[in-house]
Homo-oligomer: A and B are copies of this chain.
Amino acid sequence: MAKAPRIGPYICGIDAALDVVSGKWKGLILWELNAHRVRRFAELRRGLPGVSEKMLTQHLREMEEDGLVHREVHAEVPPRVEYSLTEHGRTLNQALGPLGAWGSERMRRENSEVVDVAEPSHG
């Protein structure tokens, strides 16, 4: 049980969309899956530096439930599980395009502020 009903009375579309992408790694998962089309669990894990197996599974399951991610299990030994974006996942990624651009701009702004304050060789 990750988030229970998941059918909230949203006020507006932003609300409904943010509900699906809020989660520490979901943005990255979307990004990875969009870049590589299809990824196995361990590949995804290596692509997200710092993620734990538990969180990765949990997020993947939620995104599957939300209809963003397709999960395909191959009955082999050792097990092979492939993740990819569904149609909704792909359109979500497109919708996130402008937001990503805004975020990159923000990162640039932040960096140019940070160099004034932070120091590389600060004891």
Interface residues of A (CB under 8 A from B): 7, 10-18, 20-22, 27-28, 30-31, 49, 88, 91-92, 94-107, 110, 114
Tallying the copies of this chain within the complex gives 2
Extra pairs beyond A12-B31, A13-B99 (4, CB < 8 Å): A12-B27, A14-B31, A17-B100, A18-B27
**CB < 8 Å neighbour of A13 from B18, B49, B91, B102:** B102
Give the residues in chain B near A22, CB-CB below 8 Å: 18, 22
A107, B16: Cβ atoms closer than 8 Å: yes
Chain B min CB distance to A8 (Å): 9
Interface of A is mostly: helix
Q: How far is the CA of A14 from the CA of B94 in the complex (A)?
A: 12
A-B contact pairs, 16 of them (CB 8 A): A11-B31, A12-B100, A13-B99, A13-B103, A13-B106, A14-B28, A14-B96, A14-B100, A15-B28, A16-B104, A17-B103, A17-B106, A20-B103, A88-B106, A91-B102, A94-B98
A20 touches B98 (CB 8 A): no
A21 and B27 CA atoms in complex are apart in Å by: 13
Please determine whether B114 and A7 come into contact, CB atoms closer than 8 angstroms: yes
From known contacts A10-B107, A28-B11, A114-B7, infer whether A102 and B21 are also in contact, taking CB-CB under 8 Å.
no
